[in-house]
Amino acid sequence: MTITKITGHRGARNLWPENSLTAFRNVLALGVDAIEFDVHLTDAGELVVIHDATLERTTDKSGLVRHLTTQSRTETHLESTTDTVPTLAEVLAILGDAGERQLHVEIKSDEAKKPYPGITEKVVAEIERFGLADRCHLTSFDVSVLEECRRVAPKVERLVSVNAEWAAKQGGLSSFIDNVEGLVDIVAIHHELMAAEWDLITSKLTLDRLCVWTLNDEALIRPWLERGIGHLTSDSPDLALTLRGKIQQQSEPV
C-alpha cells in the first residue's frame, strides 16, 4: 500500500500560530513529510510569510500586508504571541535544515486577488539562494501564476489547488484537470470535491499525484490514508501521522 505523505498546513495551525517561526521549528519534530506556507510581497520589497492579504485575522494589527515596512512587520505579533510576521528568508533558514522534507510554497495574490508584480522571480531567487529548489513545490490556485512559475523556474516542481467553487469557475473539474496536465506535478483537491468526484479524478490522475486537503479529524483522515492517496494536508499533522502509523501496523503481516 502506498504510504501517504503528510503535509503540515501553514506549519501546523491547530497546534501553533499559523505561518509562525514557532510552528515551523516545532512541526519538524513531528516527522512530517512536507510543510506548507504562504508568501506575500510588500510594497517595500520584502517577501513575508502570512496567509491573508490583510492583517486582522492572524495578527494584533490591521491593514494590508503589502503596506508592512520592515519596522512595522517586526512590531506585528501573531495571535497575541511574541512571534512576529516572518520573512521568507527566516522561514527558509529554519526549514533548510529539515533533511529531505518538501516545502510547499504558496504564492499568494494581493487584496484585489491580483498577483503581485515580480513575486515569482523573487520567491524563486530566495529558494535558490538557500539551495532548496529541489525540495520545493511552488503552489497556487491560479493557473497563470503556475505558468509564470514554469517560465521562471522550469525545474522547480509545481502544485495546483482546487475546490468546488474554483473548479466551477474554470469550466468544471474535468476540464480543469485536463488544462493543468503537463503544468503541475501534484493536484491538491478539497476533500469534499475529492470524495464527490473520486471516479472522475482517479480516471485522470494517479494516486501519487493527488493531494487531499485540509483534514483535521480521524473520521476524515483515516479513509484517505486507507485509500493510499499520495499526499494529505492537515492543520493537525500530529494526528495524521499517528493514524498513518496505526494503519501501517495493521497492514503488516503477522
Task: Please identify every residue annotated as catalytic.
Answer: 9, 51
DSSP string, 86-124: PBHHHHHHHHTTSTT-EEEEEE-B-TTS-BPTTHHHHHH
Could you give the maximum distance between any two Cα atoms of the chain, in Å?
60
Give Cβ neighbours of residue 183 (< 8 Å, ≥ 6 apart).
Answer: 143, 146, 147, 150, 158, 160
Contacts 24+ apart (CB under 8 A), 197-202: 197/173, 200/173, 200/174, 201/173, 201/177
* Count of helices and strands (H, E) across the chain: 11, 9
Which of these, 17, 27, 23, 123, lies nearest to 76 by C-alpha position? 17
Contact present, 189 and 212 (Cβ < 8 Å) = yes
User: Can you tell me whether residue 133 is helix, strand or coil?
Assistant: helix
Q: In angstroms, rounded to a whole number, what is the distance separating the alpha carbons of residues 78 and 75?
A: 10
Residue type, 230: G
Q: In angstroms, rounded to a whole number, what is the distance separating the alpha carbons of residues 200 and 254?
A: 36
